[in-house]
């Protein structure tokens, strides 16, 4: 439930994404796959797909959680946040994304119970229809240690995927251009020298 008394619900792998009376309501169903309790410390949201953002939002731009949100180890929980201020440019951009059925990117900052092991996890929220938003977990950033994958390797892998995608798109465009630029002559003047509309003597004479 939100401050206004507004209720939302989200099943596993889903999110609640609503724009009502100028307020953006967001909630994500979470599962803690770690061995310790996870404490939500802050969050950030941006319009558009995660691939548009090579790294996370600067730490100082995260919004603080007003509620204590704990997710037990090996269990499920819920994150929620809202954008209310009418002059907030992020609220305007995210509202537009919701109204036009565009993806949204949410990043959650969380820690262990004593405030250590700070981690940022990025979630992609993709609209499936008017009321269903699918959640995908895209990236993790570890703020207090290097983590299992150095950031340089992760960025290199991302750039490689984007290069491959661009090359594939260029190849498809080239193939379609070749198909569209084929023999455009009138079929009645084909190389056979016979019009497809020519009467043919069935006796062969």
Q: Who's near 65: CB < 8 A, 6+ residues apart?
A: 40, 41, 42, 43, 81
Domain with 156, as residue range(s), is 146-177
In a domain, 172, yes or no: yes
pLDDT digits (tens, 9 = 90+) for 30-87: 999 888 999 999 999 999 998 889 889 999 999 999 989 999 999 999 999 999 999 9
Judgement on whether residues 58 and 139 belong to the same structural domain of the protein = yes
* 78 and 151 part of one domain: no
Indicate if the alpha-carbon torsion angle 147, 148, 152, 155 is positive or negative.
negative
Q: 26 and 106 share a domain?
A: yes
**pLDDT reported for residue 200:** 39
More confident of the two residues 184 and 43: 43
What is the reported pLDDT for 194? 43
Confidence class for position 131, pLDDT limits 50, 70, 90: confident
Domain count along the chain: 2
The answer as to whether 62 is a domain residue is yes
pTM, to two decimals: 0.76
Yes or no: say if 92 and 19 are a contact pair by the CB < 8 Å rule: no
Q: Where are the alpha helices (DSSP H) in the chain?
A: 89-99, 151-180
Residue 15 tokens, joined? 């999110």
User: Which has more pLDDT, 22 or 159?
Assistant: 22
Regarding whether 133 and 63 lie in a shared domain, the answer is yes
141 and 164 belong to one structural domain: no
The mean pLDDT value for 94-109 works out to 97
Are 137 and 97 members of one domain? yes
- Which residues does residue 122 pair with via DSSP β-bridges, in sequence order? 107, 139
| Inside any domain, residue 197 | no
Locus of tokens 């992020």? 90
Query: Based on the domain organization, do 104 and 137 belong to the same domain?
Result: yes
Whether residue 83 sits in one domain with residue 112: yes
Q: Are 44 and 63 in contact (CB under 8 A)?
A: yes
pLDDT of residue 192: 45
Q: How many CB atoms lie within 10 A of CB 104?
A: 24
Tokens of 164: 């491959």
Query: Can you tell me the mean pLDDT for 124-149?
Result: 90
Residues 106, 163 within the same domain: no
Residue 182 maps to a domain = no
Q: What is the pLDDT of residue 182?
A: 57
CA pair distance 146, 128, nearest whole angstrom:
35
Residue 1 in any domain: the answer is no
Judge if 74 and 150 occupy the same domain: no
Report yes or no on 169 lying in a domain: yes
Distance, in Å, from the CA atom of 63 to the CA atom of 198, rounded to the nearest integer, reads 76
Pick 107 or 158 by higher pLDDT.
Answer: 107
Mean pLDDT of all residues belonging to the chain: 86
In a domain, 8, yes or no: no
Clarify whether residues 106 and 155 are in a common domain. Answer: no
SS3 label, residue 107? strand
Same domain, 131 and 50: yes
| 202 in any annotated domain | no
Residue 65 Cα distances to 109, 147, 203, angstroms: 10, 25, 89
Confidence at residue 107, expressed as pLDDT on a 0 to 100 scale: 98
Q: What is the CATH number of the domain that holds 76?
A: 2.60.40
């Amino acid at each position: 439930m939100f401050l206004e008394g507004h209720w939302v619900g989200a099943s596993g792998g889903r999110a609640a994404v609503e724009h009502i009376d100028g307020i953006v309501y967001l909630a994500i169903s979470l599962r803690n796959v770690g061995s310790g309790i996870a404490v939500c410390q802050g969050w950030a949201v941006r319009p558009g797909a995660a691939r548009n953002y090579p790294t996370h939002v600067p730490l100082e731009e995260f919004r603080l959680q007003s509620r204590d949100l704990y997710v037990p180890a090996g269990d499920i929980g819920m994150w929620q946040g809202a954008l209310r201020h009418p002059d907030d440019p992020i609220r305007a951009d995210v509202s537009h994304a919701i109204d036009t059925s565009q993806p949204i990117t949410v990043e959650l900052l969380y820690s262990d119970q004593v405030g250590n092991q700070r981690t940022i996890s990025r979630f992609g929220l993709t609209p499936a229809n008017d009321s269903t938003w699918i959640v995908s977990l895209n990236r993790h950033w570890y703020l207090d240690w290097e983590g299992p994958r150095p950031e340089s390797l992760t960025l290199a892998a991302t750039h490689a995927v984007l290069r491959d995608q661009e090359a594939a798109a260029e190849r498809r465009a080239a193939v379609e251009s070749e198909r569209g630029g084929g023999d455009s002559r009138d079929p009645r003047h084909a190389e056979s020298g016979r019009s497809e509309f020519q009467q043919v003597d069935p006796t062969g004479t």
